[in-house]
Amino acid sequence: MIGFRRLVIFTCFLFAGAVAAFASAPVPEGAVIVAKDGSGDFTTIQQAIFSLRDYKPEGRAWVYVKKGVYEEKLLIPAYKTEVSLIGEDRDGTVIIWHDHANLPSELGRGGTIGTFYSWTMKVDAPDFICENFTIINDAMTFHNPKWNEDHMNGANVGQAVALHIEGDRVVFRNCSIKGFQDTLFTGNADGREYFEDCYIEGAVDFMFGPATVWFEKCHVHLILKGYFTAASTPENHPYGYIFDRCLVTTAEGLKDQWLGRPWRNHAYVLWKECVMDASIAPAGWNNWNDPAREKTARYYEYRCTGPGADRSGRVPWSHELSRRQTSRVTLKNVFSRPAGGWMP
């Protein structure tokens, strides 16, 4: 069997190759161009999105964004269908915002904006594609000096979503999504989402929600103690979160971290042929202080490798799938709901 160190090096090589393939993306023909220096059609991404024709009958529209840090709260409305948002370079094309759940507002309960308005980027539209971007909510990260100051003064910063998705048939490729608590919210119970060659980081429940989501060759990274997932898959949905050949890591010094806990009773998460570092708790999964959820949560692993993949100490209510069972977990089957199916 290949050694863990060699396996990690090989896996990282694959990720690096995938990222390189997307670097310095060419400008699609007919694209609307965004550039901070004024050399494009618009200087903000939101202006470019709003300029597109609603429910575009002639098909897909393209927005190309040149390198730069775009400090904006970006909305892709439901009526801006079939949009491709392409960054020039993943690490150099950045969308950043700073809202968190406990900001004062009349929008939410208790006079705050709440988790579900704290996003940096929200996708309401169907058939949306995003490539080569870094999307950040820095309101609740130790990288943000303001958060450190507020935290030291006893402020309750609260959840801070980087990417919030409500649309169906949504694709993110070669993107970096960064936050702390609740980084990625997959919010539409009937939505289907596909992430490929992406880097996603956070801490507490940083990937959460009810949608059906496939993560292909992604790197998911825990920056402080917490839980990788908090799925809330509906009971009648056969699939929830599938992590296929992903790299699972945590910040240096962390240990006994959790692959997931069920936000709702029937959470579905599968880690399939992933590489897991040594920081994963031997038990693997947490019941969110509700033993009743052990009878309904659907937590699976299949042929994962690395020291964190040792299943000898796993909770008995999680399961290792057989090869035959896993053979049914294909993109075609997973995204067959609703009627008509979808292949990203």
Active site residues: 182, 205
Q: Which two tokens stand for residue 21?
A: 């393939």
Give the ranges where the chain is alpha helix by DSSP (H). 4-22, 45-51, 145-152, 323-327, 331-334
Beta-bridged to residue 64, according to DSSP, are: 33, 86
Beta-bridged to residue 184, according to DSSP, are: 163, 207
Q: Which residues contact 51 (CB under 8 A, 6 or more apart)?
A: 32, 41, 42
- Give, as one character, the DSSP assignment of residue 26: P
Cβ atoms of 155 and 148 within 8 Å: the answer is no
User: What strands lie across the sheet with 247-250, from one edge to the other?
Assistant: 68-71, 93-97, 134-137, 176-178, 199-202, 219-222, 247-250, 275-276
Q: Which residues contact 244 (CB under 8 A, 6 or more apart)?
A: 214, 215, 216, 217, 272, 273, 274
Alpha-carbon span 202 to 277, nearest angstrom: 16
Determine how many CB atoms are found less than 10 A away from the CB of residue 191.
20
Q: How far is CA 106 from the centre of its chain?
A: 28
Q: Which residues contact 6 (CB under 8 A, 6 or more apart)?
A: none
